[in-house]
Amino acid sequence: MKTLQILTILIAIALCNIAVAQNQNQSPTLYNRIDNYLDSGSKNGFAGAITVIKNGDIVINKGYGLANKNTQAKNNPNTIFDIGSNTKQFTATAILKLIEMGEINEKDPLSLFFKNLPTDKQNITIHQLLTHTSGFTETIGNDFDEITSKQFFDTLFASKLLFSPGEKYEYSNVGYSVLGKIIEITSGLEYEAFLSRYLFFPAGMKQTGYLLPKWNTKQISRSYNRGILEDESPILKYQKNGTISWHLKANGGINSTQNDMILWYKALKSDKIISRESFKKMTAAYADSPSGKSSYGYGWGIRFLEGDVKRITHNGSNGAYSHSLIWFPEKDIYIVYATNANSEKVEYIAYEIAKMLLDETYIPKPVENNVYAYAINYMAKNTIANAEELIALLKEKYPDNFTSSRLLNSIGNILLMMDKHKDWVVALFKKNVQLYPNDGNLWDSLGDGYKANNRKEDAIKSYRKAIELGYNDSQKKLTELLKN
C-alpha cells in the first residue's frame, strides 16, 4: 500500500512539473525567437524587460541588460520601471469603478465637480476627458514643476480650448489630471490611495504606484536616456518632493514591474476589478486619431488589424523610460514591454514582438545601437583627428538621422550635458557651421563649445556671429563673457 501511495505521489509530482514547464514556456520555439532577438539587442545597447502571455500561459518573462550600471544589477521581472502614460488606464479603470459604485456617470459635466468654471468648460463630460475629445491642450507645464492644486486647475481652466468639446480627438495629459481630481473629489481619497484600495490591492499588486508602495529599493532601475544620459528613478524624486505634481498625477509617472503588470492583466481578465461590461466599455473604439488608423477608448488605444483582429494598446515614455502594453483580447495575447534606456531604436520593440506572435515566419530586423550611443562610444576610443571618419560613419550607418543640422548639434549638446569629450564638442560644432553657415543657433552652440573649453575669444566671435544671423539668445551669453 505504501509503495502504491509513493508511486502515486511521484506521478503527481512529475505531472505537476510538466504542467509548470508548459505554463512557463508554452512554445519553446517562440520563446527562443523572442529571447534570441532581445539577447542580441542587449549586446547592442538594449536594456529592459519583456513579458508575453498567450492563452493564459507565460511564454516569456525576462529582463535584459542592466537596471543599474553602478551596481551592475540586471533587469528582471521584478525590476521597477516608470510606465509613463500607461498610468492613464489605471485612471480610466478607477473612473469606471466609481461609475459601477453609482458615484458618477460618464455623461456628467465638469460643472458637477468644479465651481465657477468658465462657460466653455462647464459642459465638458467625463467621457470626453477619457477619450481625449475635451478640447484641453496636452500640457501646461513640466512633470516636476512645483504647483499647488489650486494653481494647476485655475491655470488649466483659464486656458483656451483647442476646439469645442466633442468635436475631435487631441491627446491631452491634463484631461486625465482632471479625471484624477474628479476621483479625489468623488471618493474623498487621494488619487493614489483610491487606486491602491480599489485596484492594486484586489489585484495583489504591491510594487505599483508613486509613493505608497514599500518599494524594493534593490529593484528600482536607473534611467539611461539613449543609453548614455544617466538619471535616478522618478520614485526617488517623488520621495524627495513628498508629493506628485499635478502636471504628472493621474496622467503619467506611475512605476511598476513586469510581474505586477501580469497581475493587472489577470485581474482585468477575470473581472476582479471591474465588470466585463465595464471592460468592454473601456476598450471600445470612440474617438478616431487624426491619422484615421486607430481610435481611443478609455485609457487604451484601439485598432483593428488585417482580418479584423482587435488590438488594444498604449505606450508611455518620459524620454528615458519607455513602456508598452499590447493586448489582443480575442487571441488572448498580452505583451508588457519596458526599457530604462529608451531611444528611437528600441521604443517600438513590443510591436516587433507582436508581429512575431501573429506571424511565425516574421523575422524582425536586429536591434541597432542608437546614433548617439554609437557616436559617443566611438569618441571614447578615438581622438578628434578622426572627426571626419566619425562623420562619414554616421552618414553611412545612420543616413536617416543625418538629414539636417540637428544630429551633430544634439550630439555636441549631449556631450556638454555629460561634461565629456569637450574637444570633440568643438570639432562637431565646427563641422556643423561649415555645413550650415547661416544658422545662428549652430554658431551659438559653437560658442558654448568654445566656452566649455575655456576659449573665450573664440566663444565671443561665435556668439557675435550668431547674433549677426538673428539668433538673439546669444546676446546674454556674450554680455556675460565681455564682463569677465
For residues 233 and 222, the answer to whether their CB atoms sit within 8 Å is yes
pLDDT band for position 292 (cuts 50, 70, 90): confident
Rg of the chain in Å (alpha carbons)? 26
The grid coordinates listed for 38 are 532581445
Q: How far apart are CA 225 and CA 155, in angstroms?
A: 31
For residues 436 and 445, the answer to whether their CB atoms sit within 8 Å is no
Instruction: Give the model confidence (pLDDT) of 387-412 as tens digits.
Output: 999 999 999 999 999 999 999 999 99
pTM exceeds 0.85, yes or no: yes
For residue 40, the SS3 value is: helix
28/110: higher pLDDT: 110
- Give whole-number Cα distances, 352 to 145, 326, 364, in Å: 35, 11, 6
pLDDT band for position 27 (cuts 50, 70, 90): low
For residue 58, the SS3 value is: strand
For residues 339 and 349, the answer to whether their CB atoms sit within 8 Å is yes
Mean pLDDT (whole number) for 175-202: 98
Range of weakest confidence among 26-40, 391-405, 439-453: 26-40
* Portion of the chain with pLDDT greater than 90, in percent: 91
Mean pLDDT (whole number) for 140-163: 96
Residue 262 confidence (pLDDT) above 70? yes
Which letter does DSSP use for residue 383 in this model?
Answer: -
- Give whole-number Cα distances, 340 to 50, 63, 65, 80, in Å: 12, 11, 9, 9
Residue 19 confidence (pLDDT) above 80? no
For residues 415 and 424, the answer to whether their CB atoms sit within 8 Å is yes
The grid coordinates listed for 81 are 520601471
CATH architecture of 81-358: 3-Layer(aba) Sandwich (3.40)
pLDDT band for position 249 (cuts 50, 70, 90): very high
**Residue 240 burial (10 A CB sphere; 0-12, 13-18, 19+):** exposed
Mean pLDDT (whole number) for 246-266: 98
For residues 344 and 370, the answer to whether their CB atoms sit within 8 Å is yes
CATH of domain 371-483: 1.25.40.10
Mean pLDDT (whole number) for 255-280: 98
User: Is 371-483 the same fold as 81-358?
Assistant: no
Mean pLDDT (whole number) for 280-296: 89
Residue 21 is predicted with a pLDDT of 42
pLDDT band for position 15 (cuts 50, 70, 90): very low
The grid coordinates listed for 23 are 505554463
**DSSP of 303-355, one letter per residue?**
EEETTTEEEEEEEEE-SS-EEEEEEETTTTEEEEEEESS--TTTTTHHHHHHH
For the chain, the structural domain boundaries read: 81-358, 371-483
Neighbouring-strand partners of residue 302? 295, 312
Contacts with 413 (C-beta within 8 Å, 6 or more apart), sequence order: 445, 448
Residue 2 is predicted with a pLDDT of 46
For residues 81 and 350, the answer to whether their CB atoms sit within 8 Å is no
Mean pLDDT (whole number) for 158-169: 97
Instruction: Give the model confidence (pLDDT) of 67-103 as tens digits.
Output: 999 999 999 999 999 999 999 999 999 999 999 999 9
Mean pLDDT (whole number) for 57-67: 97
Residue 7 confidence (pLDDT) above 80? no
Q: What is the largest CA-CA distance in the chain?
A: 99
Residue 28 is predicted with a pLDDT of 64
Query: How many CA atoms are closer than 13 Å to the CA of 473, on its beta-carbon side?
Result: 9
For residues 107 and 97, the answer to whether their CB atoms sit within 8 Å is no
Residue 309 confidence (pLDDT) above 70? yes
How many residues are listed for the chain in this entry? 484
